[in-house]
Structure 1
């Protein structure tokens, strides 16, 4: 069985994530290919798309959001994602059990004795008038029925688990500060989420597995679980195993992949790329060693923005006080510093947030 080393896996990830070469596809197409973009920080998807799309302009994502081609919603791992509308309608029912389970596990004590289905029915009744509401407004309409349940907990249960919701624009538009207004997906997108098919072969899980491997493979089932928060999709893996390519990593883990998916040569040059907070390329795996060193794992989960140099997280970056500052995590060669600075200048021009300087490390 072919063994793929860390560099081979790195280049495969970069190719699937459009980080080896920017793509010319549309915003909805790239969001769909990536299986969504993590988006709890509303402006971060713009940076992720800029690093992946040739000639990306922020208005293209604004148009996709207002045109309902993509939607902000709770999905994978119960985090807010920017997802293609067709995907969220197809995938949401498959995530229901996980979404409920995570809320109930987090707030087990606060929700003791609460009948979840009663809460869900009451919430749907309130939202039946198709009027967008903040979480606070939704909870205020229901709190008299559950006076002992903290408002925040009741709201989390309703909005992130019980009722498939869209977070409406202007939330998530370019340079717009806006609170969260929720509307059921069925009202916003014009049809309800697809029901979960009966049977044990898990066709929705099979589609999820194929799509995940197209954007993240080769990957282990533990990586799949870490990405979506679902319990490994064993029926889907079993059903598709004969049509998948199988590899091993250097630790002996089994890796699955689509047979014809790109797996570039490990020596393929990788350009500098600036990633947003919580980027897919880092958080889409259980074993993140293909792209980030163990010593720096805490940076990715804490929301630091990363810089890829030769395909690996080699610096962090931030914008403060009209300054785009890059802090290397290892010594950079003169050639690497030149490439980082060139990409940083381009990013500063894209952000155009009154950035007057780019500083790399301790330089003055």
Structure 2
């Protein structure tokens, strides 16, 4: 055994010292570009983050603003129009913005997740419909053009007139590789029907074959260190233990303070627990809050119960790397006010930093306001 082989095995051997909760927090913040703003291209950031939750059009823009130095909204809009970034139903069967390259890997691998939600949400309402035929007919109808969901539903109902057009169109969206092209997903878009296009039409290439191992690696790069249950919670995939075990020889293995195995990429950043973390305002549904089964690395159970209510996930304030409150912007004529609701008192020094970051947020999110105010608690 040569020296390099011994060194590599030593690097990958399980660590005997547990990673503290704060150390896990700092590692995740580093992957999520939240220890500082980074002077990188937005496309590079979207790739590093393994996508951004895009439940509403503005969320990815706000997420990138919190992470990328000198980010401008038009930069992401240009990526959407250039087809280098796409909006699609992916992880946890919710809308995400991902790079075209990541879509090609993620969509085929997440197919079981999307098929599962179709059965759960629309199984009864599509009873009697041959789903393979539905995909075939819908693909022919959509080939070479863009249709909104209601438009596609009405056309599908010509073949299945006894079924709801909406259920048919939603089922097709879950079962076929589609993307939602602009103006969907563009900053400031409110309401309107969601357009759909076939992914291979829009991107000019077919999707790849399913690769669960690659999905595990993408999660660890963006959110590690992580347990198997964390990867499953982020992706919606099930039974990933065997996949992770097949990668074990390539991964670094740690334990948390509860003794659970944490897997990570050997060369991924794991800064020390004392590295400072600046205040950050994150949008609703930010993946930092949703990418783990155990979310204690960023918020306590009590805080989680106040942030994650039903299907909603509030816009949050991070102080020292953990969730300390929620926020929203109110407009009153020409004045924009950032209302911050802390869950506990914030010290004077942190209040100054939060206020400064809040004013920067208003300058980005409400550039047309003549006056911006931050109301903290």
TM-score (norm 1): 0.93
> Structure 1 residues 205 and 357, CA, compared in 2 at 3 Å: closer, same or farther?
same
**Alignment length (residue pairs):** 353
- Check conservation: 1:315, 1:329, Cα contact below 8 A: yes
Unaligned runs of 5+ in 1: 197-203
Shift of 1:111: 2.6
| C-alpha separation in 1, matches of 2:373 and 2:21 | 32
Find the residue that maps to 1:284 and give its secondary structure: coil
Paired residue for 1:71? 86
Q: Structure 1, residues 101-154: CA drift from partner, whole Å, max 9, x if none?
A: 1111223322333221111111011112x1210000001001133233323222
Paired residue for 1:246? 253
Shift of 1:189: 0.7
| C-alpha separation in 2, matches of 1:17 and 1:99 | 26
Shift of 1:47: 0.6
| C-alpha separation in 2, matches of 1:11 and 1:355 | 37
Paired residue for 1:191? 205
| C-alpha separation in 2, matches of 1:172 and 1:102 | 22
- Equivalences for residues 27-38 of structure 1 within 5 A: 27-38=42-53
- Equivalences for residues 213-292 of structure 1 within 5 A: 213-292=220-299
Paired residue for 1:328? 342
Shift of 1:156: 1.3
Q: Structure 1, residues 73-104: CA drift from partner, whole Å, max 9, x if none?
A: 11111111001001111221111122111111
- Equivalences for residues 1-364 of structure 1 within 5 A: 1-128=16-143, 130-159=144-173, 161-177=174-190, 179-196=193-210, 204-298=211-305, 299-300=307-308, 302-321=312-331, 322-351=336-365, 352-354=367-369, 356-362=371-377
| C-alpha separation in 1, matches of 2:163 and 2:259 | 48
The answer to which of 109-118 and 62-71 deviates more is: 109-118
Find the residue that maps to 1:3 and give its secondary structure: coil
Shift of 1:26: 1.2
Find the residue that maps to 2:324 and give its secondary structure: strand
Q: Structure 1, residues 33-75: CA drift from partner, whole Å, max 9, x if none?
A: 1111110111111110001101101111011111111000111
| C-alpha separation in 2, matches of 1:112 and 1:254 | 43
| C-alpha separation in 2, matches of 1:63 and 1:86 | 17
Shift of 1:353: 4.6
| C-alpha separation in 1, matches of 2:199 and 2:313 | 28
Runs of 4+ in 1 over 6 A off after TM superposition: none
The answer to which of 344-353 and 61-70 deviates more is: 344-353
Unaligned runs of 5+ in 2: 1-15
Paired residue for 1:199? none
- Check conservation: 2:338, 2:374, Cα contact below 8 A: yes
The answer to which of 263-272 and 300-309 deviates more is: 300-309
Q: Structure 1, residues 206-232: CA drift from partner, whole Å, max 9, x if none?
A: 222112111110100000000011114
